[in-house]
């Protein structure tokens, strides 16, 4: 608590950063946390709560009244206001209703407008607050109005002026650096007409998928994107800081999905909920492990005759699994970043298969030599494990790249279930090829 107090005392309120306060709060134990929350400046309550993991939300909000929370929420941008109210609804619907009713009618209208969109739609992530002007407006007056808005802190993270016609249809987007070199005595229209194509904005429709918007931000290195309805009416904007959050969430989801766990469940304090999600994938993994064991059972006599096979068998399966996971991880990530086009599947599979084949050949030679030296009369045993390792790594590269591409083609998240499928394939092929070759060559 000392560090938090020192930070709060050392900075004027307008210099305090919610993320820094949240970081200091997370370092505290439960007793100190409850006391430290009381020292959070009232206007930053909602900001700090949004920076903290979901499990802290209840502890933060129980220390403040609905009116105090509402006053803090009113300081947020419209998209953050909506996020806060939705998170509060999941935690305590009655408290969320009380906070919502304490907000002014304009904030309520903004929140209701944004809540109508699905989570994966652009409209759900846009801010209503905009810096706009009509085509006929004088540039000098535009800059004067913008300066007044900034002094009142009514806008933040502003990089573009969105220019509309009299029907609020979006026409142009003018960067502030361009605005400053305009002829101040002329209207926006007169200035833009000198090079209209330069000011054509990249626009999002309010029902576009947010994954498409993320790709556009990355492709064009955008800081802001206007959002319009189907008629071209300007509704809001999406800013780069929100896109960074979305990219982080997507990366986290991918990592969790590859491991067979769920982001939302892991954030929940309910152990049963998280355990249930994990148990589903563990049960599936158990079935696949049994399948691999059945393959081993087919070669029971071979294993009894040559004990060395039982020692070497896990090496083949392990190398295949690791090689396949490398291919799988690369392809899943490239799909998420949009680096693999629809017509590009064959090139991707070919590359991963060749990489696995080269590695398979290299490690097959090493393992063949090791097996030959390790066991008496191990020359042919070395040949068996070398051939088996090459076969397994070849299939590992093929399936490691093909499975996520196939899931993507079926409109399924490539990360979901890929590792279970891949592990099953590499185990079965590894055991079958190794023990099958051993039966043919050694017996």
**Look-up of token digits 């407006």:** 137
Tell if the pTM clears 0.85, that is, is over it.
no
Distinct helix (H) and strand (E) counts, the chain: 21, 6
Top mean-pLDDT range of 102-116, 309-323, 336-350: 102-116
Residues 183-215 have pLDDT tens digits of 999 999 999 999 999 999 999 999 999 989 998
Mean pLDDT calculated for residue range 8-18:
72
Q: Domains of the chain by range and CATH? A: 2-116 (1.25.60.10), 132-247 (3.10.580.10), 259-442 (1.10.357.20)
How does 410-434 read in b/e, with b if 16+ C-beta sit within 10 Å?
eeebbbbbbbbbbbbbbbbbbbbbb
Question: For tokens 């009369």, what's the residue?
Answer: 377
Residue 235 is predicted with a pLDDT of: 96
First to last CA, the chain: 72
Chain mean pLDDT for the chain: 87
Which DSSP letter does residue 124 get?
A: G
In angstroms, the CA 126 to CA 225 distance is 9
Q: How confident is the model at residue 274 (pLDDT cuts 50, 70, 90)?
A: low
> What is the rounded distance in angstroms from the CA atom of residue 399 to the CA atom of residue 402?
5
Distance CA 180, CA 174 (A): 10
At residue 412 the predicted structure's pLDDT band, cuts being 50, 70 and 90, is confident
Q: Which of 120-129, 142-151, 243-252 has the lowest mean pLDDT?
A: 243-252
Sheet strands side by side (includes 160-164): 132-134, 160-164, 170-175
Tell me the per-residue pLDDT of 91-106, one tens digit each, with 9 for 90 and over: 899 999 999 999 999 9
Instruction: Using a pLDDT cut of 70, give the percent of the chain over it.
Output: 94
pLDDT at position 339 over 80: no
State the pairing for strand pair 170-175/160-164: antiparallel
Mean pLDDT of 374-389: 88
User: What is the Cα–Cα distance from 59 to 44, expressed in whole angstroms?
Assistant: 15
Q: Residues 360-373: pLDDT tens digits?
A: 999 999 999 999 89
| Residue 56 main-chain phi, psi, to 5 deg | -90, -15
Q: What is the pLDDT of residue 19?
A: 86
Q: CB–CB of 228/206 below 8 Å? A: yes
CB neighbourhood size of 92 (10 A) = 15
Start-end of H helices in 74-200: 78-91, 93-102, 105-115, 139-151, 176-179, 188-192
pLDDT value at 71 more than 90: yes
Band of the pLDDT at 270, cuts 50, 70, 90? low
DSSP character for 202?
Answer: P
| Mean pLDDT value across residues 254-260 | 70
């Amino acid at each position: 608590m000392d560090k938090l107090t020192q930070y709060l005392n050392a900075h004027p309120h307008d210099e305090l950063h919610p993320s820094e306060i949240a970081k200091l709060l997370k370092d505290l134990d439960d007793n100190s946390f409850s006391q430290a929350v009381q020292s959070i400046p009232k206007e930053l309550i909602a900001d700090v709560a949004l920076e903290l993991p979901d499990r802290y939300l209840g502890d933060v909000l129980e220390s403040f009244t609905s009116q105090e929370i509402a006053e803090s929420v009113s300081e947020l941008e419209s998209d953050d206001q909506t996020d806060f109210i939705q998170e509060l609804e999941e935690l305590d619907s009655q408290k969320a209703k009380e906070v919502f009713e304490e907000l002014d009618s304009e904030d309520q209208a903004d929140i209701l407008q944004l809540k109508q969109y699905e989570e994966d739609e652009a409209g759900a992530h846009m801010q209503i607050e905009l810096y706009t002007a009509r085509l006929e407006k004088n540039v000098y007056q535009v800059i004067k109005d913008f300066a007044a808005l900034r002094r009142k802190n009514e806008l933040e993270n502003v990089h573009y002026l969105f220019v509309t016609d009299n029907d609020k249809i979006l026409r142009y987007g003018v960067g502030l650096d361009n605005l400053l070199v305009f002829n101040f005595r002329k209207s926006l229209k007169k200035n833009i007409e000198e090079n209209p194509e330069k000011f054509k904005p990249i626009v999002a429709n309010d029902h576009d998928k947010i994954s498409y918007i993320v790709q556009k931000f990355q492709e064009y290195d955008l800081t802001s994107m206007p959002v319009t309805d189907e008629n071209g009416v300007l509704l809001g904007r999406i800013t780069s800081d929100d896109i960074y959050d979305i990219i982080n969430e997507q990366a986290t989801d991918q990592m969790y999905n590859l491991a067979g766990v769920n982001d939302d469940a892991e954030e929940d304090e309910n152990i049963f909920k998280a355990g249930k999600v994990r148990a589903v994938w563990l049960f599936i993994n158990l079935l696949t492990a049994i399948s691999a064991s059945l393959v081993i059972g087919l070669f029971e006599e071979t294993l009894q005759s040559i004990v060395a096979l039982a020692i070497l068998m896990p090496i083949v399966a392990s190398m295949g699994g690791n090689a396949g996971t490398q291919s799988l991880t690369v392809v899943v990530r490239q799909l998420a970043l949009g680096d693999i086009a629809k017509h590009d599947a064959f090139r991707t599979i070919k590359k991963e298969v060749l990489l696995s084949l080269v590695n398979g050949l290299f490690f097959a030679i090493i393992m063949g030599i090791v097996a030959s030296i390790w066991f008496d009369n191990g020359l042919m045993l070395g040949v068996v494990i070398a051939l088996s390792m090459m076969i397994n790594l070849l299939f590992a590269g093929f399936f490691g790249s093909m499975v996520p591409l196939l899931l993507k083609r079926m409109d399924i998240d490539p990360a979901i279930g890929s590792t279970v499928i891949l592990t099953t394939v590499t185990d079965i092929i590894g055991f079958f090829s190794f023990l099958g070759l051993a039966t043919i060559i050694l017996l």
